[in-house]
Amino acid sequence: MSLTSFVGNKDVRERFKQEFPSPKFSVQKPLLAPPLTKHYFLVGTAFDYLLRFYLKRLNPQAVETRWVAENAVTVLFMYKDGFAIHGDTGEAEVVAEPTPDKADAAIFQKINAILSEAKKAYQLYLKTGEIIKPLLTSAMLLANLDIIYRTGRLKDYVELDTVSDEDIKDLTNLIQIVTPKLFKAKKVCVLNPTFGEASKLVGGADADLIIDDTLIDIKTTKKLELPRKYFDQLIGYYCLYRIGGIDGLPQDCEIKNLAVYFSRHAYLHLIPVKDCIGQVNFQKFLKWFKERARK
């Protein structure tokens, strides 16, 4: 189970809808960076990495954690033993044809090479501030590894180190329209935050960003809309924060806003917590949330 799958359960969706009415959303903004390929999820994940790189340079005090992509090698060894474990859900499944040892070694070398080059490109960017092709390529390759870990699947591993020029151009367009002042922290910046012991309630959970008192989810989509599932995801993160805190967030910092950054529109949409969560009955809801997540 993951937070996404948890809030996707019918009874959970209904309880969320009952407790938290959907906020109004009638924003209209131009599509500044339309997608150039159909690799929507891959480019979206790559942009998550690239934006975090950008924010670390913008906010040197930003708290970082280990890249999710660095865990991809664990999936490789699971396959070698004849089973796979989904990174998001923790569920195991038998692999009918485990990867041969020689292929294991080749993939292991590819993964290590990708991670090594990505770390070099990242450190160079932090020094120079120049977003050059090796950094963009690394973001795409890290996205490949990230998806392998989160899904627990090694399919398409042969193209593990292949990147489309159009995807690189797409990433370039996305990062060029970022407005620095939207993400310049006054005090606190946490990249890819986790929620202490509460993350385990849903099989592991990590958000995209914390900037001061705002938890931000990044959406790389051409549609400027706030469907119920986006809102439920934000509420889910907020519940985990209230249960387990946020790793790397000072105790005197309080999350007061939930937000979605629509990267293709360069638009940050804020939802004040006080406008969507009534504190009187929230503790009762948190009790239900914990009990339901443990089932």
At 261-287, the pLDDT tens digits run 999 999 999 999 999 998 768 999 999
C-alpha pair distances (Å), 156 with each of 145, 161, 263: 11, 10, 27
What is the model's pTM?
0.88
C-alpha separations of 164 from 117, 155, 276 in Å: 18, 18, 41
Q: pLDDT digit string (tens) for 50-89? A: 999 999 999 999 999 888 888 776 655 555 444 444 444 4
Q: If we measure between CA atoms, which residue out of 136, 174, 144, 135 comes closest to residue 162?
A: 144
Q: Residue 96: which H helix or E strand, with range? A: none
Write the pLDDT tens digit of every residue in 35-60: 999 999 999 999 999 999 999 999 99
Least confident range of 42-51, 75-84, 121-130, 131-140: 75-84
Among 60-74, 139-153, 215-229, which range has the highest average pLDDT?
A: 215-229
pLDDT attached to residue 147: 81
Mean pLDDT (the chain, rounded): 88
User: Measured between alpha carbons, how far is 262 from 257 in angstroms, rounded to an integer?
Assistant: 16
Tell me what pLDDT residue 82 has.
Answer: 46
245 DSSP assignment: -
pLDDT at 84: 45
Q: What per-residue confidence (pLDDT) applies to 149?
A: 75
Whole-angstrom distance, CA of residue 77 vs CA of residue 73: 7
Percent of the chain with pLDDT over 70: 85
Evaluate the CA torsion angle 254, 279, 225, 246 in order and state its sign: positive
- Domain ranges (residues) in the chain: 1-33+180-295, 38-176
Picking from 16-20, 150-154, 291-295, which range would have the lowest pLDDT averaged per residue?
150-154
Measured in whole angstroms, how far is the alpha carbon of residue 9 from the centre of its chain? 20
pLDDT higher than 50, residue 101: no
Q: What is the pLDDT of residue 76?
A: 58
What's the pLDDT band for 112 if we cut at 50, 70, 90? Answer: confident
pLDDT reported for residue 245: 96
Q: What is the pLDDT of residue 136?
A: 98
